[in-house]
Structure 1
């Protein structure tokens, strides 16, 4: 399950950024994950929940995952199209030379934190 490794890295990065900003708690992490990474959304959520449990800094944190569908451009006719992980032939010209434009993302879009009252 590579989702546990992914979420370990995400949580480490989010926690480090939150602490750097002087936060008292991490409240929410929002991710964009491309379907071509083959990460499973439920496994990401499960891993996140397991990792934050018991840590007062992250215990109440939420995870929002935005799955990105694959989108490609045909290198023969230039058409752009969405597809699943397995069918990447151009729907316009049936060409098989394509360039993946979206679907491999794995990025932290935002984090929400609780800052101390001054």
Structure 2
């Protein structure tokens, strides 16, 4: 379950940000994650909740926003969002090429917003 490690890293980043701004309590945090990161939202929320118990972050809301996959065709360069749900079949809508596309978005993860007191 890589969500435990991700939650741990997010907590460290949040601690640094809270310290920078003199905040003592986290109210909410928004994390954006690409579809290709294979994050299970419920698992990440659970990992975050478990690791923040009895801290100044306890009870904070963790909002997760999924970023869709966007690729550039390896043949003609057309940028598109694959329509097939499993992302293994990605035919280009312009030329039909099914493979060797460059991933432009969908594999990132970052802390997007914090609300603290």
Q: Normalised by the size of structure 1, how large is the TM-score?
A: 0.88
- Please give the alpha-carbon distance, in whole angstroms, between the structure 1 residues aligned to 2:95 and 2:103: 17
Q: CA deviation at 1:97?
A: 2.4
CA contact (8 A) 2:49 2:59 kept: no
Point out where structure 1 has 5 or more consecutive residues left out of the alignment: none
Secondary structure of 1:29's match?
strand
Residue equivalent to 2:18: 18
- The residue aligned with 1:107 is 110
> SS at the partner of 1:76?
coil
1:32 alignment partner, SS class: strand
Query: Structure 1 residue 107: deviation in Å?
Result: 0.5
How many residues end up aligned between the 2 structures? 113
Alignment map for 1:1-118 (pairs within 5 Å)? 1-55=1-55, 57-83=56-82, 84=85, 85-95=87-97, 96-114=99-117
Give TM-score scaled by structure 2 length. Answer: 0.88
RMSD between aligned residues: 1.3
